[in-house]
Amino acid sequence: MTNARILDGTKIANEIKAEVAAEVELLAAHGVRPGLAAVLVGDVPASQIYVRSKVKTCAELGLFSELITPPETVTTEEMLQLVANLNAREDIDGILIQLPLPPQVNAKLLLEAVNPAKDVDGFHPVNVGKVQSGQPALAPCTPAGMIQILKRSGLPIAGQNAVVIGRSDIVGKPIAMLLLQENATVTICHSKTHNLPGYAREADILVAAIGRPGFVTADMVKPGATILDVGINRISEREEFDKFFAGDVRREELFLLKGSTLVGDVHPAAYAMSGAFTPVPGGVGPLTIAMLMSNTVRAAKLRRGLPV
C-alpha cells in the first residue's frame, strides 16, 4: 500500500470558494456585484451539466450569472454580435463561451472577439501574452488551480524540476508558464518527444495532461515526485477496467453500478511511486470551477481599478 499523500482538490476548491464568497460580500458593500455570462450553444449533454454547475456555483457564492443558449444553427456573425453585446454590458465582468461549438461557428474568431478584460477562461491572446510576461492577467482556470493545489498543500515549486506532458493551449502551455513564474525548471514533453519516460523520471513535479488514459506508468515516476493528473478519461469496457483497476473492489462495485468509471492520464499503479498526487476524480477537476469564480471576481476588480 502506498504512503503517497492524496491531494484533495475538492477541499482546496471549497477553501477558494469560501474566499470568493467573502470577496463578493466586500464588493457588495461598494455596490459591485461580479457578473458572469455563460454562453452554451446547442444540446451537448456534458457541456450542459458543466455549464449548469458553473451557474449554480455563481448563485451559491453571490455572483450574478446569466445563461445564454443560442440554437445549434447559430452563425458566427450572430455569435459575434452576442459577444459584442456582452462586451458592452456593465453588469457582466466575465464571458464564458462553452466549447466545443458547432462546426459552422468560427471558435477562434469568437474567442478573440471577447474583451480580454472579461476573458475569464484566460484564452485570449492578450491574456496568454500577459501570463507569459508575468503581468497581472486572467490565467486559464485549470492551470491556475494546479498552482493553488501545490501552494496550499505546502509543496515546493521553486527550484524543482517540473515536467509537463502535453502542450495544449488550455493546460499544457499555460501550466508550464505558471510553473516557470514560480521559479521551477520546466520541460515540456509531447507525443513527438524522444525518450519521454526518461524526462518524466527526472521530474519532481510531473504534470500529466496528454489526454490518454493511464499513459504515465509507474516506471516513469521518480520516487517521491508530486503528480498532477489532469486527465479525465471515461472507460466503459471491462477489459480496460481490469487493465487499470484490477483488484479495486470498491471501484469495481461502482463500475458495475454505473457502467463506467474515470481514469486519469496516470496509471493508478503509478501513484504509489509518488510523494503526493491528485486523484481522478476529486483532484484537479474541482479547481476549474473554483478558479473560474475567482477569475470573475478578479476581472470585476481589474475592470474597476480595485486592488486584486
- Give the residue numbers annotated as catalytic, written as ranges: 54, 98, 121
Identify the three-state secondary structure at position 203.
coil
d(CA 168, CA 248): 32
Beta carbons of 278 and 234 less than 8 angstroms apart: no
Sheet holding 161-165, edge to edge: 5-6, 276-277, 226-229, 205-208, 161-165, 185-189
d(CA 58, CA 21): 9
Beta carbons of 27 and 297 less than 8 angstroms apart: yes
Beta carbons of 118 and 87 less than 8 angstroms apart: yes
Kindly tell me the burial class for residue 184, based on how many C-beta atoms sit within 10 Å of its own C-beta (0-12, 13-18, 19 or more): buried
| 164 Cα distance to chain centroid | 15
d(CA 190, CA 188): 7
DSSP letters for 58-71: HHHHT-EEEEE---
Beta carbons of 56 and 27 less than 8 angstroms apart: no
Q: Containing H/E element for 296?
A: helix 285-303
Provide the Cα torsion 183, 232, 247, 217; round to 10°: -40
Beta carbons of 141 and 121 less than 8 angstroms apart: yes
* Closest alpha carbon to 206 in 12, 215, 15: 215
